[in-house]
Structure 1
Amino acid sequence: MPVGATSNESAEAAPLEPRHPWSRYVALGDSFTEGIGDPEPTVPGGHRGWADRVAEVLAQGDDDFAYANLAIRGRLIQQIIDEQIEPALALRPDLITISAGGNDVIRPGTDPDEISARFEYAVERLSRDRATIVLFTGVDVGFSPVFRGIRGKVAIYNENLRAIAAKHDLLVADQWALTEIQDQRMWAPDRLHLNPLGHHTVARMVLATLNVDNDLEPSTPEPLPARSWREARVGDLAWAREYLVPWVVRRIRHQSSGDFVTAKRPDAGPYAVPGGTERG
């Protein structure tokens, strides 16, 4: 200890312990990771989402932290493998999140075992540089009248993902157990994507999975509004007209909502707080 310095002064001068071990985070996936349902015009791509929210927390106090988001809406798992894995590895991340296969699972006639085999192939390639990898289970869709019929299929896929995670020592962000989002008020009007509160809730779960302290509060950024039975039924009809019918037409035409869309954050760089400055 320098002459004249007190123990308190020495403690104050000591460098702060890092809040987490990661410096380069890359997110892969489809519309869920792109942030659809959480519009924010001040960020790249015009959507914020859970991954941006996680990156904002991880960037706090770290000038060198970098973040890239390669996810594109509508992508099937093979497209994610073909289009996103090599660009992700080129960025040399030490933290990777991947949510893939959801668009495959909801398609009639698809096999969750075959989808899982593709997912494991993706994980094997992403494991090349020993980054921490986080995968996501699917949401328990039993609450949804639209998707309740594929609940068993989602459960099979989830069990396969858990086996992959155990085999390859991955972290599991468990949406199936996240009961807060089993509520239509957490979802955007299209009922396919989370709304801002839903994305916020998933971000809190991901940070808990990473064991990263944060100040994200439950039921923020907005409270859950109550809805009457009549309002819910009127909403069903409006939803079917505006979202379900166009979705079915796209399936028939073999089109995707992600056609001609590019990644919103293709390069790893500092995270910019919406409406503010770079967070570091």
Structure 2
Amino acid sequence: MDNAPDASADAVVTHPWTRYVAMGDSFTEGIGDPEPASPGGHRGWADRVAEELSRGHNDFAYANLAVRGRLLQQIVDQQLAHCLSLKPDLITLSAGGNDLIRPGGDPDALAEKLDSVVQILSLGGATVVLFNGPDTGSTVLGRIRSKVAIYNENLRTIAARHDAVIADMWSLRQLNDPQMWNADRLHFSPLGHHTIAAMVLDSLNVAHTLEPLSPKPMPQRSWREARSGDLVWAREYFVPWVVRRLRHRSSGDGVTAKRPLPGPVFGPGVPLGSGEGPPGAEDPVRS
């Protein structure tokens, strides 16, 4: 990210896209980056990317279909047709992480399913951005590191086959900083979302105003303080997560997309509701 092109706050960002649709789960919804003023109450890396892409582009529109807890097949069933109906020229897709975390998650089988999805998304000529998984010691994600690595290699093959762009989180070593992560140790913090947004824009070769931040190292904790923090995390985050898995429930049950229709990123045209609206509703931006 240190090589990011410089752009002033008022500069017009040069890029070819006019309509961006984000697909995915909690990562793309923006969980971990709370913002009451944003649709759905969360901002996230996708909103931050859209904000940069919209600078100087009055006709730029952005929709975010992501819903927390969604598995790959649910994303396909609930978001793919909606995305295609919006006729985007830029699509980001992050999917498969929730599948890999679950017992029996097969990175090769997931990649085979994802390959056909990317093929469909790319048929209309849209630029498709795929996310590989981060290489992190996070308590949950660190346990599936080998599966993530296999999935990542499959993603590179898929991207090469369909001329997609890889947003390379595996190589984003800044994510090893604990300050990049939310208290649940599974989602990213506002700083993490900011860092990922800058990486996505760099991957698209788009100049932006997101300056790399160098957070101060976290103070060294004593063994007793660290143990206490682990117990609090387990009680508030890990145990409820395990219970939901055992009950076959998702954190996204009853949640709808925060930006189901494309609209301006800034100004009065931004939807202020909870993201409700039928996938087939009339598109107010482009007929």
TM-score by length of 1: 0.88
Aligned to 2:14: 19
Aligned length: 258
TM-superposed CA distance for 1:109, in Å, is: 1.3
1:167 aligns with 2:161: yes
Cα 1:127/1:177, change in 2 over 3 Å: same
List, as ranges, runs of 4+ consecutive aligned residues in structure 1 with deviation greater than 4 Å: none
TM-superposed CA distance for 1:150, in Å, is: 1.3
> What is the distance in 2 between the residues matched to 1:81 and 1:238?
35
TM-score by length of 2: 0.86
**3-state SS, counterpart of residue 92 of structure 2:** strand
- Which residue of 173, 184, 188 corresponds with 1:190? 184
Aligned to 1:210: 204
Gaps of 5+ in 2: 1-10, 271-287
**Structure 2 letter corresponding to 1:168:** H
1:153 aligns with 2:147: yes
> What is the distance in 2 between the residues matched to 1:271 and 1:80?
23
> What is the distance in 2 between the residues matched to 1:122 and 1:129?
13
Cα 1:201/1:17, change in 2 over 3 Å: closer
Moved more, 118-127 or 164-173: 118-127
- Which residue of 219, 223, 235 corresponds with 1:227? 219
Cα 1:177/1:25, change in 2 over 3 Å: same
**Structure 2 letter corresponding to 1:82:** D
Matches within 5 A, 1:72-91: 72-91=67-86
TM-superposed CA distance for 1:28, in Å, is: 0.2
1:271 aligns with 2:265: yes
1:176 aligns with 2:180: no
> What is the distance in 1 between the residues matched to 2:170 and 2:73?
23
Matches within 5 A, 1:5-154: 19-141=14-136, 143-154=137-148
**Structure 1 letter corresponding to 2:171:** A
**3-state SS, counterpart of residue 93 of structure 1:** coil
Cα 1:18/1:44, change in 2 over 3 Å: closer
**Structure 1 letter corresponding to 2:37:** T
Sequence identity of aligned pairs in percent?
63
TM-superposed CA distance for 1:46, in Å, is: 0.2
> What is the distance in 2 between the residues matched to 1:17 and 1:99?
28
**Structure 2 letter corresponding to 1:84:** Q
Cα 1:118/1:245, change in 2 over 3 Å: same
> What is the distance in 2 between the residues matched to 1:147 and 1:268?
32
> What is the distance in 2 between the residues matched to 1:224 and 1:50?
21
Query: Which structure's CA Rg is the greater one?
Result: 1
- Which residue of 237, 241, 246 corresponds with 1:247? 241
More helix by share: 1
Contact 2:12 2:57 in 1 (8 A): no
